Amino acid sequence: GYMGLHCTENLSVEELAAWAGVHRSHFTRAFTRRYGISPSRYMQQLIMEKATRLLSAEGTSITQTALSLGYSDLFTFSRAFTRYFGMTPSTFVKANRPSSRTSE
């Protein structure tokens, strides 16, 4: 729950472990054992799921989405999105917004 609420704050695994009150390596091992995915990969998954929700909404630009997710610029977000989904954010918008008119 904490990770979901704070996924856009660029929290490190060290910060998450400190919040949980355990050492980073213990946190990583326990989290991975329980969820089958590393904490950093899980945070990325949460961010990308939120990105798809935002990009699917009318009136939300790709730049607004990137900044609201904690990315410093559009390029960094686009690169991360493309690596994760295998398509650019603008391609995703075109496929998921019937009336999309992106100017980015």
User: What residues contact residue 39 under an 8 Å CB cut-off, 6+ apart?
Assistant: 3, 13, 16, 27, 28, 31, 32
pLDDT in tens, 71-95: 989 999 999 999 999 999 999 999 8
Q: What is the pTM of this model?
A: 0.78
pLDDT of amino acid 91: 94
Tokens of 93: 């918008």
Is residue 99 predicted with pLDDT exceeding 70?
A: no
- Domains within the chain, CATH numbers bracketed: 2-96 (1.10.10.60)
pLDDT of amino acid 103: 46
Is residue 101 predicted with pLDDT exceeding 60?
A: no
Is residue 48 predicted with pLDDT exceeding 80?
A: yes
